[in-house]
């Protein structure tokens, strides 16, 4: 049966607000939280940029049962993979074994903004291969001396080890990262735009790679973007912190002000058309129900934005989750 996670957006809300949202999500029956990890937001005028690992520590302190996962952090430049393993183990201890680690190959807006050269995918994937090995071995308790092309450790060990075996999920948008997830990670994260495409490009290659390496099929976590608004104006207001995601220069930019300016040069209806619009509980059930039925994921991430986020959390928890749970039985 699928679990249902609420997505907490550091790019939209300040960290103290996200802690309140986390508490509310637990109260209203969500199984877990997906927590984004960014240095920069997507726009400068209404964006936020809290430090996700600190937010996760605060969330662990004010919740008791809801599961936690980064979605996603990048263990390649800003953080050495051993430091990410240390952070994961610490959050797991603070949450008494509720943490899973979601990682990805990164974005220039977070890495380039700190002076790192953000390379082509081939190097990012090679770095991730080393990072996954380092993190897994450290989280499993090894004292590790590692000599890779990109990363080294000398007698590194986590002296505050995790409370449980932390699964590592790798975000994948295509078959190469999916295969890497199947080979080296315990799970795969896919942002679903089309169910059949997600199955063909990510889930099937991940499962095939796992089988080729005599491993169990990876756990599957899905996310899907929805925008809640009773009118175009309200939906646009909700989407403002995310409009830079659709800017032409998104993959190269380091300045959120640049992305905001580019996005504001695009017709807002064109940007809105690229997201699933929702308003009622039935709309939400329709938006995520197909993912539940077609993909049977282990985790369904509800990634949504609205101008009344607290009210939306309550409504989805009370009125939508029971419908989705019935579909996944």
Which residues have a catalytic role annotated? 38, 107
Among 147, 150, 154, smallest CA distance to 125 is for: 150
Q: Name the packing angle between helices 81-94 and 121-139 (round to 10°).
A: 50
> What DSSP letter does each residue of 40-75 carry, written as one string?
S-S-SSS-----HHHHHHHHHHH-SS-EEEES-B-T
CB atoms within 10 A of CB 320: 24
Q: Is 29 left (phi over 0), alpha (psi -120 to 50) or beta?
A: left
* Rounded CA separation 230/45 (Å): 23
> What DSSP letter does each residue of 80-103 carry, written as one string?
-HHHHHHHHHHHHHHTTS-EEEEE
Cα dist. 329→204, 292, 323 in Å?
Answer: 22, 10, 11
* Rounded CA separation 152/130 (Å): 10
Indicate the helix (H) or strand (E) that contains 220. Answer: strand 219-228
């Amino acid at each position: 049966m699928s679990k249902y996670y609420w997505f907490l957006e550091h790019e939209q809300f300040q960290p103290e607000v996200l802690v309140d949202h986390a508490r509310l999500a637990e109260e209203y029956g969500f199984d877990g939280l997906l927590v984004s990890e960014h240095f920069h937001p997507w726009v400068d005028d209404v964006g936020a940029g809290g430090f996700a690992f600190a937010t996760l520590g605060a969330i662990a302190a004010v919740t008791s049962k809801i599961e936690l996962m980064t979605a996603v952090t990048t263990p390649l430049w800003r953080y050495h993979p051993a430091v990410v393993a240390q952070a994961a183990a610490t959050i797991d201890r603070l949450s008494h074994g509720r943490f899973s680690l979601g990682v990805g190959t990164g974005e220039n807006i977070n890495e380039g903004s700190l002076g790192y050269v953000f390379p082509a995918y081939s190097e990012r994937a090679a770095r991730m291969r080393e990072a996954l090995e380092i993190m897994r071995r450290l989280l499993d308790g090894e004292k590790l001396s590692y000599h890779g092309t990109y990363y080294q450790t000398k007698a590194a060990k986590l002296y505050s080890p995790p409370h449980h075996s932390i699964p590592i999920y790798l975000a994948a948008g295509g078959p190469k990262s999916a295969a890497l997830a199947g080979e080296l990670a315990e799970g795969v994260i896919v942002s679903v735009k089309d169910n059949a495409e997600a199955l063909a490009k990510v889930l099937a290659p991940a499962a095939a790679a796992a089988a080729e390496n005599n491993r169990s099929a990876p756990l599957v976590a899905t996310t899907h973007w929805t925008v809640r608004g009773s009118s175009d104006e309200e939906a646009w207001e909700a989407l403002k912190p995310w409009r830079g995601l659709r800017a032409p220069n998104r993959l190269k930019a380091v300045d959120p002000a640049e992305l905001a300016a580019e996005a504001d040069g695009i017709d807002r209806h064109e940007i809105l058309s690229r997201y699933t619009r929702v308003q009622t509980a039935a709309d939400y059930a329709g938006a995520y129900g197909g993912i539940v039925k077609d993909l049977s994921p282990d985790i369904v991430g509800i990634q949504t934005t609205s101008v009344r986020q607290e009210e939306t959390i309550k409504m989805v928890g009370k009125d939508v989750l029971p419908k989705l749970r019935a579909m996944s039985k």
